[in-house]
Amino acid sequence: MSDLVVECLGLTRVYGDDAVPVHALQGVDFRVTKGEWTALAGPSGSGKSTLLHLVGGLDRPTDGTVAVDGEKLNDLSESQLSDLRLRKVGFVFQAYNLIPVLSAVENVEFIMQLQGIEPPERHERALSVLDQLGLGDIGERRPGELSGGQQQRVAVARAIVTEPVLLLADEPSANLDSATTLELLALLRTINEQRGVTIVTATHDPIVMGHASRRVLLRDGRIESDEVVSSPA
Amino acid sequence: MKLTLLVQLSWRNLWRHRRRTVILLTTICFAVGSVLVFNALLRGMQVSMAETAIDNLNGHFKVLAPGYLDDPGIEKSFEFEPIGRPELAGDAIQGWAPRVRVPAVIRSERETRGVQFVGVVPGSEEISFLGDVAIDGEYLSGPDDRRILVGQALAQQLETGVGRRVVLITQGVDGGNRESGYRIAGVYDAVGEGIEKAFVFTGLATVQELLSVDAVTEVSVRLAEDDQNPSVLNSLTSTFSDLDVRTWQDLEPQAAMMYEMADTTVAIWFLIVMGALIFGIVNTLVTAVMERVRELGMLRAIGMRRGAVIAQVVIESMLTMTIGISIGVVLGTLSYLWLADGIDLSAFAEGLEMTGVKPELVPRLWARDVFLVVGLSLVLGILASIYPAQRAVKVQPLDAMRG
């Protein structure tokens, strides 16, 4: 079986109308193999977020193909895409996006509820993941009672609790200070190395780029450079 | 996706903005409560109007000679007993009241008035207002009683009273005048001066003797239940096939129209109150959706389907409505119980007399009205959630990615 978790071929995404088209991606070929931690970098408007969204099945390409874990996303209906995201992709958002009316442990459990996992198992798994991420003592607190760093770690716990094949993080450190960013990156590294979770992050942050094992630089909707880092920070 | 999860999430979302939810719930429960109380008052008026119409010598059904209504007189009469009464199931009929009713002129020592001279079987008049009317003097002792009952207002007009004599003049079958003197046994105090001025009562046999007939001009039939049973009407029309069988609605079309209008009024009031409320619900739900665009986007991004997002908004609306309606029904019922002994409207008695509503209004809270209000409110709750749900479902997963 192929080790390819993501395979994008000739990926093009054009926004706007025919009169004023905006070429966010222009025929990008992009592959991610299992266990990689890839950082998509580049200036604003370079296409890194667009690429991340297409890989996560949050957006559809104008042209080209995207496959995740061997499933071609172009062929999937809206609800099939929802199912794929639920089963195979974990998301970490810039603004954490926790559900404010649920406690930390309930936020982590929520995605398993969507998957139909029974209460005892999902509660046990949620507690276990929170514990592993050093959040064992804040499980009953609601997001409003947590710091930004704690919220982002709960978001990571929610993203990995279902053991996705791919973890997508969009500017995960944008709202964090440097110390908290480093804590988050250490956490992602542990997840990447110990759990073998494949990670793709879109980031402006040089600290984040420094921790990834592969750096893909985009500019004007094209990949400008793609380098594997032998010894990330 | 499990419904319990959506209900749980919707429930928590409800209390995200407690003050807003409490205000909305208060509005719903007052709206529902006020609709129920209004319903109960209107139903009370409706029943009162119907009872008055039925009590006023109509009964639920009345058997008449053909043409009597157009040209009332003793020549439009029929012999009741030879036909007999139809076999009717169970206790559908409360009673029968045969009468002779003819136009007449009543003359006292001082005044003369036109009236309806009515011969009755006193024991059978339990089914009309005569059964429980207040009487100064004595009630008629039987169909052979030769004395009369007059209304209080008529007695005042005639400047007469109990024990005094009056003369009644009417027309016989042959068209000739029949005249006789009668002593006043009692003066009755009915609901409404119109009745008191219109009807003079005596024994049935007394009028038949005056007019030299064995016939009656009408037979009122009162049912045990207020709901008119079509099978009873069918039995009556088939038994009295040569006669005219009329419902009280035929005989009192104005009262019947007002009775029917009560249903429409209930519906209009409901739509006005709940229609206004629905805008409040839509506004609150849309606000709630717009506040949660990023969260809804996140839910879509992590795999929640469109249907589940719609269901979440609908459930939130339904939960709000269910709580508001439940409290509203309790409030409405308590208010109804507080008023259940009756409301004294005697200060408006003259105006009410025209509508046939009795001076003491007893509200009626019918289970079917409660179920209807609850059911329609829930339907409105669903309708109110359609637009907010549409707004929610338009939220794209990408909306969650924006910082």
Q: Do A93 and B5 touch (CB under 8 A)?
A: no
pLDDT for position B50? 86
CA distances from A232 to A33, A39, A192, A215, B353 (A): 17, 11, 13, 10, 96
pLDDT tens digits for A90-110?
Answer: 998 888 889 999 999 999 999
Would you give the distance in Å from CA A9 to the centre of its chain? Answer: 20
pLDDT given for residue B94 in this prediction: 85
Low-confidence ranges of chain A (pLDDT < 70): 1-2, 231, 233
Nearest to A59 among B304, B398, B403 (CB): B398
Q: Can you give the pLDDT at residue B187?
A: 96
Beta bridge partner(s), residue B150: B187, B200
Q: What is the pLDDT of residues A105-150, one digit of tens each?
A: 999 999 998 888 988 999 999 999 899 888 889 999 999 999 988 9
Instruction: Look up residue A204 and give its DSSP letter.
Output: -
Interface probe for A, chosen from B18, B319, B401 (most Cβ of A below 10 Å), is B401
Q: pLDDT tens, B12-37? A: 888 888 999 999 999 999 999 999 99
Q: What is the pLDDT of residue B82?
A: 55
ipTM value, please give it: 0.86
Q: Which CATH architecture has domain A4-228?
A: 3-Layer(aba) Sandwich (3.40)
In A, minimum Cα distance to B13 occurs at A101
| pLDDT the model gives residue B86 | 66
**Can you give the pLDDT at residue B19?**
92
Confidence (pLDDT) at B8: 86
CA distance A231 to chain B (A): 30
What is the per-residue pLDDT for B353? Answer: 67
Residues of chain B below pLDDT 70: 1, 82-90, 228, 349-356, 400-403
C-beta atoms of B303 and A56 within 8 A = no
Give pLDDT, residue B46. 87
Please give the pLDDT value at position B61: 92
The domain spans of chain A are 4-228
Q: Do B295 and A99 touch (CB under 8 A)?
A: yes
Chains A, B: CB contacts within 8 A come to 76
What's the pLDDT at A151? 92
